[in-house]
Amino acid sequence: MKFIIPVLFLFVGISSFVTMNSSQERDLAIVKDTLAADREKYILAFKDSLKGKETVLADSVFKNIKSLKGKSTEQLLSIMNNWGHALGVTCKFCHDVNNWASEKSRNHLRTREMIVMNDRLNRELLSQMKGFRQPVTMGCISCHNEMKEPPHDGLRPQGPRPRPEGGAAPNSGGAKN
């Protein structure tokens, strides 16, 4: 009879561990769905207002296109959604949704720097690697993997590293929050 109590404890322990894990997974799935739904809301609104102009150059419709010159409005919107997915964020991470052309968000400017870095990485380094089957390319998702800040070196269980006062990162080119 004595062994029943430890066995009972073990059972309760295991079952609560299992339910804890699956509820965490469920929470994560809900967060992801909400992010996707939030992005979709803005994408659909833009698609509605751009009916008939899908193949028109984005620069001829929007005010502040610098990095994505030559893309159509349809391509621009799909790139925006991909960036949101790659970083696990909504449009608000990089935009003031009441003024889409605004560069006030530091992440808007950082994204432009990331595009330059990513482009050079693909063109100048990855395409030159001899030991691999070409083409070798990387995109935002390769590093970010649905995280705002990819780990620099190994796991970062303590979360994002602290930023200097004022919110500007050392290499952000002076961009302010």
Q: Given the rule CB under 6 A, which residues bind ligand HEC?
A: 39, 42-43, 46, 62-68, 80-81, 83-84, 87, 89, 91, 93-95, 100-101, 107-108, 110-112, 114-115, 118, 121, 138, 140, 142-144, 148-150, 169
- CB closer to ligand HEC, 19 vs 49: 49
> Two tokens at 145?
């993997």
Which of 70, 87, 107, 79 is closest to 147 using CA atoms?
A: 87
- CB closer to ligand HEC, 2 vs 128: 128
Dihedral pair phi/psi, residue 99, rounded to 5°: -150, 85
93 and 148 Cβ atoms separated by less than 8 Å: yes
Find residue 72's DSSP bridge partners.
57
CB of 26 to ligand HEC, least distance (A): 24
- CB closer to ligand HEC, 6 vs 55: 55
- CB closer to ligand HEC, 72 vs 89: 89
Which of helix, strand or coil describes residue 122? helix
What is the crossing angle of helices 4-49 and 73-87, to 10°?
Answer: 160
CB of 101 to ligand HEC, least distance (A): 3
CB of 55 to ligand HEC, least distance (A): 16
CB of 11 to ligand HEC, least distance (A): 43
76 and 68 Cβ atoms separated by less than 8 Å: yes
